[in-house]
Amino acid sequence: MDIMETIREQVEGNPVILYMKGSPNAPQCGFSARTVEALMACGERFAYVDVLSNPEIRANLPKYANWPTFPQLWVNGELVGGCDIITEMHENGELAELVKAAAPKAE
């Protein structure tokens, strides 16, 4: 499968997905750590992709997203932004609202 198709399927198939360096339990850069901290504070589950262990995604996601840096948070198929935007949204309460609205509801 084409890498762009893989990225599209990940973005469209997960209501909340974070492309980051490392994992939520072991972020590999300060920006990913701050972003994951803000996202985890929302209290909802989210998918993630470690771009360090997925070099093809790391190389192609910036083209797909038209966004050059990591981390990248996607909600309902839309790019929300990177660390600074996510941190600011967390501080003013917007992030929790966005994530809770997108999170799959337990049956």
- Residues in the annotated binding site for glutathione: 21, 58, 70, 83-84
User: Residues forming the annotated binding site?
Assistant: 21, 29, 58, 70, 83-84
CB atoms within 10 A of CB 73: 27
User: Residues forming the annotated binding site for [2Fe-2S] cluster?
Assistant: 29
DSSP E strand boundaries for 15-98: 16-20, 22-23, 26-27, 47-50, 72-75, 78-81
